[in-house]
Structure 1
Amino acid sequence: QVAVNMVIYGFIVWVPTFLMKQGLGMASSLGYTALMALGGPAGALLGVLLADRIGRRKGLIAVSVLTAVIGWLYGHSTGIEMATLLGFLLFTLTYLMVALGIATYIPELFATENRMRANGMAGCAGRITGICAPQLVVMMYAAGGVKDVLTMIIGTLVVLAVVLAAFGIETNRRSLEDIAPSIDTNDPLPASSLSQ
């Protein structure tokens, strides 16, 4: 949640501003952003098609690395046509991460007794990131422009890939009981009390 919200609120929502700061007018900036934004539905559709085929953990690692590479290329693109194509790919990959991570992977990590609470805590961490990311973008942009903003986002994606590779578990084609075993019924704190 933290990494995905960093990409969304650190890059995606700032694209029109970045394009205007690079010399495009408001109408042109919004037009190119609209073209890039078509990647959102494409990424969600790819998530539907790929989540069960490639797995959530492996998919998130691959997409994080690919997004970092495309982000670096976007930061070094010289023409608006190339920036638009790379921006479209960034939107697509970002919403593919939403589909693989937020919609499928995170909810599958927790035992039934804790799923709503744990998923809510993950969502809260993501929302806090969504609040802080714009302020970080302003500071990074003032310090070094779009390239510094992209460096921050690329760093977040690399951390995501490393954490998932080191600690993540694959949830694809596994039962929830296998992933997160239910609380022992002999436990002095019954499962029903956890839901309160």
Structure 2
Amino acid sequence: MNDDVVTKTGTTTVGLATSEGVVLAADRRASLGGRFVSNKQAMKIEQVHPRAAVTMAGSVGGAQAFIRQLRASANLYEARRGEPMDVDALAQTAGQLLRGMPASPVLGGVDADGEARVFSIDGAGGVLEDAYSASGSGMTLATGALERLYRDDLTLEEGVEVAAEAVDSALERDTASGNGITVARITADGVNIDTYDDVTEALA
């Protein structure tokens, strides 16, 4: 099978910081080249740290390998130091591990002092922090919605609404994204991940 068909998977993932924590959201469709739907219940958000999670966008195999390595690095740090790695160090580690991989995750986490952090990571090892970020084939559409709806004083549940709206805007036009939504709510207390068959369920 042609490698280009395998690695060019489509998706929409977003992350945003709120006054109470971080929200990550992603659609649930896995596709090959944006033309064939290979899975309708793909989990594109994974917890990698007691107070952090990461989205998957790009090559499924590459993203899964990256998540395993990042989780292992965070666990090893905690085992050796007796405390979780801080989110900034986790993001820098993610950038080093992702280098050369065909993936573009969004990492979100909450520091021990309660500060919400969102980072976009690229395959060249770049790590950029912002109040919100999007990745995948629906990135442009999702970013437009985020720019229109985002405020820095959002509550966590208001952030869920904004993230869901951003993913939904991509689902309307991006054929590689669809089949519901996964939402991660990240606070100083931990990571809570829920899946919904329809975006409207996340808004209820």
Normalising by structure 2, we get a TM-score of 0.30
Larger Rg: 1
> Is the helix fraction higher in 1 or 2?
1
TM-score norm. by structure 1 comes to 0.31
Choose between structure 1 and 2 for higher RCO, CA contacts under 8 A separated by at least 6 residues. Answer: 1
